[in-house]
Amino acid sequence: MKFGVSTFVWVSPFSTEYFDLLYKVKTMGFDIIEVAVEDKDIIDWKKLKTIAKKLELEITVSGAFGASRDISSEDQSVRAEGLQYIIDCIEIANYLESPVFGGPVYSAVGKSRLISSEEKLIERNWCIENLIKATKVAEEKGVVIGFEPLNRFESDMVNTADQALSFIEEVNSPFLKIQLDTFHNNIEEKDIPSTIRNIGKNLCHVQGNESDRGTPGTGNLDWIGIKDALNDINYTGAVVIETFGSPSKELARAASIWRPLANSADELASEGLAFYKKLFS
């Protein structure tokens, strides 16, 4: 098992200014740094790749889906911007040799409303239409799109793995799979280990986050059950810590981050990694 940590743990948005994080993450003992792409134009991708190669630090890529990047929006221009953002991130992932690009690719984070079944179907169809386009690019680039269910407070479109699987089946591409975030799963799933086993080969990436988004191992998650389920499906992907140490105002509002989640970002990352290594040893 390889372990990673997201740039979100320390900073938002991540930019060239914060490339020292790569050295910190490597020194801590992580295998992977997960780069959250909030603004692709403030990151020197060539320099980032050079540093990561020098450090022998792998990279995975995650998305940040604000209101202007919603492929299920009623506004066609917003849908187009959302699709272009996904395509840009797939190309970035390909360049950085990341096997996945993941996130709630289907909608905007924080978009939660009670709408009619007819409206839901229209939005779903827009989403499917754009995901089919995105997976064609993903296939060309050899990057799997990780489709991440969010909890009910952050999305009204996809909350459970079963809902995610229905999208996977409809798009019908080996380059669209499921990314699980155990924080969200703890709210929405009856039994996370059973959920993992049900997803099986369709699981491409895991963000192993605690029940309160704090340090892994300090909350109420069934970590032993999660580990056993990952072993049962022969999962060989990464397990990554993704939480928010210094969220932007937009991110804090969308993810409801109102208080510090640990004494420090460094402590959360280092203690979380120690827990991962003990759990999966």
Q: Please, what are the domains in the chain?
A: 2-279 (3.20.20.150)
pTM: 0.95
CA distance 186 to 183: 5
Give yes or no for residue 193 having a pLDDT over 90.
yes
Q: Comparing C-alpha atoms, which of 98, 71, 100 is closest to residue 84?
A: 71
* The pLDDT value given to residue 27: 98
**Residue 276 CB neighbour total at 10 angstroms:** 25
* pLDDT score at 256: 73
The set of catalytic residues is 148, 242
Mean pLDDT of the chain: 96
User: How does pLDDT run across 19-37, given as a tens digit for each residue?
Assistant: 999 999 999 999 999 999 9
pLDDT bracket for residue 244 (50, 70, 90): confident
